[in-house]
Amino acid sequence: MAFMQCNFSSETLAIGASMNVLLPDPKPGQPADRKYPTLFLLHGLSDDHTAWMRWTSIERYVRTKEIAVVMPAVNRSFYSDMAGGYPYWKFISEELPAKARAYFPLSDKREDTFAAGLSMGGYGAFKLALRRPDLFAAAASLSGALDISGTKERWVKDFGFIFGEGALVPEDDDLFKLAEKVAASDGPKPKLYQACGTEDYLYSANRKFLDHARSLSFELEYEDGPGGHSWDFWDEYIRRVLEWLPVRS
């Protein structure tokens, strides 16, 4: 397994950007043009692109798997085009995948493209899959901040920068509305995995989204168990995510 720290210029953000990348070791006799399935692994509100490597054993967990892991930095953006900041949705959904595939041997096929994240990153992963189901085959949320409208008062200052002071959350940033839109469409529908600790302050919001998704007949696997909003929980459950991902052999 190779670990790379990549700093690059973002035309979308007009600033320098960063991502950490894990790549499988090439096997003897492997085609020179091999493209790897890819997990875009997203950080939480107070973290950055280094968090998954620092606080979990993600490198060890993927060592025997034929999958690349891309871990980008998006600051406190909630993976959104910010009213008072930068266009991080365009960055994460368009520029980042294109740049990562240009720099590294990553597949651009939908069936090889996945997203996962914790807290804010769980929200971001589900938003990628539900807003771009044509590009993402599956997404996983760990302790996700999934009910944006219901938890908006918790991050008043952040949400002022993201959505505008006193503004409603746009439908394209509301996972409940996005799930309804995807369920009603004739297009592809991503597989979803959701987990949350029973002592997590976001547990009730996770149960609310679970009930909503199931009412729409989404293919969603759900788990919960003892734990709070902590790396102990995320380190355990990211292993379950890796086992769940529909990675082609």
Low-confidence ranges of the chain (pLDDT < 70): 249
- For each of the domains in the chain, give its residue range(s) and CATH number, in order of start: 2-244 (3.40.50.1820)
Longest CA pairwise span in the chain (Å): 58
> 207 to each of 26, 139, 142, 224, how far by Cα in Å?
41, 17, 12, 10
Q: How far is CA 111 from the centre of its chain?
A: 16
pLDDT of residue 249: 67
